[in-house]
Structure 1
Amino acid sequence: MASGPRIGDTAEDFTLPGGMLSDDSFERRDYTLSGARGRAVVLAFYPGDNTSVCTRQLCSYSSGFETFEGLDAEVWGISPQGVDSHESFARSHGLRMPLLADEGREIARAYGVTAPGIGVRRSVFLIGPDGVLRWKHVALLGATFQSLDTLAEQISGIKTA
Structure 2
Amino acid sequence: MMAGESIPIKRKLGYSVGHAFNDLTASMWYTYLIAYFHEVKNFNDTLAGTLMMIGQSVDAVLTPLVGLASDNSKSGCFNIGRRKSWHLIGTICSCLGFPFIFIPCWFCVGVPDWAQFIYYVPLIVIFQFGWACAQIGHLALIPEMTFSAVEKVQLNGWR
Q: Do they superpose with TM above 0.5? A: no
Q: Which structure has the larger Rg?
A: 2
State the TM-score, normalized to the length of structure 2. 0.27
Bigger helix fraction: 2
State the TM-score, normalized to the length of structure 1. 0.27
Bigger strand fraction: 1
